[in-house]
Amino acid sequence: MSEELNTPGYEIPPEMQGQVAITTLDKIYNWGRRSSLWPLMFGLACCGIEMICTAASRFDFARFGMEVMRPSPRQSDVMIVSGTVTKKMIPQIVRLYNQMPEPKYVVAMGACASGGGPFKEGYNVVSGVDKYIPVDVYIPGCPPTPQALLNGLIALQKKIDKQSIKEVRWYQKEPIEAIPIPVLGPDIMDPREYASIREYAQGKLESESSSAAVPAEEAA
């Protein structure tokens, strides 16, 4: 452990080696955070099963300090979005994300969570959870095997290792705004986009009425 934490360039007397470590604040802070990432107990779809397998005895992510899966977002550090994100579910996912305390991380597990996956064309499928919440690591695969998930989680740990206390968003002066929760309208609506939605719908109405003979073009 002390080897892991030691910052090179400082000489430690031989008799004290293995007992003390000289390190930077960033390093010990990141080490602490990355060694106890508690995931949110949150399985969405197929990938959720592989996530459970990762927690079970063969792959056992307790080895990375992740065994404490928290059912409550208030106690968790990392949200593993494991499966297809649907429009009906996205308000809840955003709400859960908002409820997680900083520092918080999001891992998009599998093709569906990353970019919609095989179901992307579906009318109820969000094409990637990153359309609504920021994502730190994307793991391709359908589903990613437990080892692929572990690989992604190690990638997240590496990302944490590179962070600096001075720059991380949760120590900045300005408050962190919660992400507005999408509203279920005729289709899913982001409250920040109301003006452009109205504009789009008005435009559609006009083009429909002006050229009733020509069918209105789909948005796609």
Partner 1 sequence: MSELTTIVENTLETRFPEVVVRDERKGYEGFIIQAEKLVEVVTKLRDDFGYDYLSSVTGVDYLPEGKMEVVYHLYKSTGGSALVLKAQTPREVASVPSLVPVYPGAELQEREAWDLYGIHFEGHPDLRRILMWEGFHGHPMRKDWQEAYYEEDSKPYKSRWPDGEVWRSEDKNTFHKNVDYPAGFDPETWVPDGDASLYAGLGRVVKPGNGGGLGTEQVVVNMGPQHPSTHGVFRMVVTLDGETITALKPVMGYLHRNHEKIGERNTFLQNMPFTDRLDYLSSMSNNFGYALAVEKLMGVKPPERAEYLRVIMAEFTRISNHIWAIGFLLNDLGAYFTPMLYAVEERELILDIFEAVSGSRMMCNYFRFGGVARDLPEGVYEKIRKLVYDRLPRKIDELDLYLTNNEILRSRGEGVGILTPDQAIAYSASGPLLRASGVPYDIRRADPYSIYERFDFDVAVRYHGDIYDRYMIRLDEVRQSLRILQQAVRDMPEGPIQEGKPQYQVRVPPGEAYGRVEGPKGELGYYVISNGKPNPWRYHVRAPSFVNLTPLEIMCVGNKVADSVAILGSIDIVLGETDR
Partner 2 sequence: MDGMGILRGLGVTLKRFWETYWDDIVWWLRRGRRYDSEEGINHRMSINTRGIFTIQYPEEKLPVPEEFRFIPFLLYEEGENGEKQDRCTSCGICAKVCPPQCIWIVRTNDPETGRPIPEPQEFYIDVDICMNCGFCAEYCPFDAIKMDHDYELAVYDRVHNNIYNKEKLSKPVSYYSSIRPTNYTREEQARAEAEAAKAARRAQRN
Whose Cβ is closer to partner 2: residue 95's or residue 159's?
159
116 binds partner 2 per the rule CB under 8 A: yes
Segment near partner 2 (CB under 8 A); pick from 81-89, 95-103, 120-128, 192-200: 120-128
Task: State the Cα torsion 15-20-22-26 to the nearest 10°.
Answer: 170
179 binds partner 1 per the rule CB under 8 A: no
| Least spacing, CB of residue 175 vs partner 2, in Å | 26
Q: Which sign, positive or negative, has the C-alpha torsion 24, 30, 35, 38?
A: positive
Please state, in angstroms and rounded to a whole number, the distance separating the CA atoms of residues 48 and 81.
8
Strand partners, 39: 78
Question: Which residues, at least 6 apart from 60, have a Cβ–Cβ distance to it below 8 Å?
Answer: 54, 67
154 binds partner 2 per the rule CB under 8 A: yes
Please state, in angstroms and rounded to a whole number, the distance separating the CA atoms of residues 181 and 54.
31
Question: Which residues, at least 6 apart from 50, have a Cβ–Cβ distance to it below 8 Å?
Answer: 82, 109, 143, 144, 145, 146, 149
3-state secondary structure of 211: coil
Question: Which residues, at least 6 apart from 130, have a Cβ–Cβ distance to it below 8 Å?
Answer: 108, 114
**One symbol per residue from 182 to 211: x for binding partner 1 (CB under 8 A), - otherwise; what is it?**
-xxxxxxxx--xx-xxx-xxx-xx--x---
50 binds partner 2 per the rule CB under 8 A: no
101 binds partner 1 per the rule CB under 8 A: no
What six digits make up the tokens of 164?
A: 């600096």
| Least spacing, CB of residue 47 vs partner 1, in Å | 9
The residue within the footprint of partner 2, chosen from 37, 44, 78, 111 (CB under 8 A), is: 111
Please give the residue ranges that form the binding site for partner 1 (CB under 8 A).
41-46, 48-50, 52-53, 56-58, 71, 83-84, 86-89, 92, 96, 115-116, 118-128, 131, 142-143, 145, 183-190, 193-194, 196-198, 200-202, 204-205, 208, 216, 218-220
Please give the residue ranges that form the binding site for partner 2 (CB under 8 A).
57-60, 63, 108, 111, 114-121, 128, 130, 135-142, 144-148, 150-152, 154-155, 159
